[in-house]
Amino acid sequence: MARRGIRAVALAVLAVALQGCATTPAARTADAQSPGASISDPWEPMNRKMFDLNMGLYNHVFEPLARGYERVTPQPVRTGIAHFFANAEMPYVALNDFLQWRVHQGLSDVGRFVCNTIFGVVGLFDVAGRFDLPPHENGLGVTLGVWGLPQGPYLVLPFFGPSSLRSLPGVPAEIFLSPFYYVQSVPAQWSIATVGTINEGYTSRGAVQMVQDALSPYDFARSAWLQHQAYLVRGSDLSATAAEFPDESPPVPQKDLPAATIGTDPKPGSPTTRTEKR
User: Which residues are CB-neighbours of 194 under 8 A, at least 6 positions away?
Assistant: none
Rounded to 5°, the CA angle 127-228-63 comes to 70
Higher local confidence (pLDDT), 260 or 70: 70
Mean pLDDT of 175-195: 92
On the question of pLDDT at 261 being above 90, the answer is: no
Using pLDDT thresholds of 50, 70 and 90, give the confidence band for residue 235. Answer: confident
Point out which residues pair with 262 in neighbouring strands: 214
Taking residues 63-90, what's their average pLDDT? Answer: 95
Per-residue model confidence as pLDDT tens digits over 10-34: 333 333 333 333 333 333 333 444 4
Q: What residues form DSSP beta bridges with 136?
A: 239
CB 125 within 8 Å of CB 116:
yes
Q: How far is CA 152 from CA 137, 167, 171, 238, in A?
A: 21, 9, 16, 23
Q: How confident is the model at residue 236 (pLDDT cuts 50, 70, 90)?
A: low
Max CA-CA distance within the chain? 54
CA-based angle 115:116:120, to the nearest 5?
115
CA angle 197–184–157, rounded 5-degree value: 35
Let me know if 20 is exposed, middle or buried by CB neighbors in 10 A (0-12, 13-18, 19+). Answer: middle
Domain residue ranges of the chain, discontinuous segments joined by +: 44-244
User: To the nearest whole number, what is the mean pLDDT of the chain?
Assistant: 78
pLDDT tens digits, 132-158 = 999 999 999 999 999 999 999 999 999
pTM of the model: 0.72
pLDDT cut 70: percent of the chain above it: 71
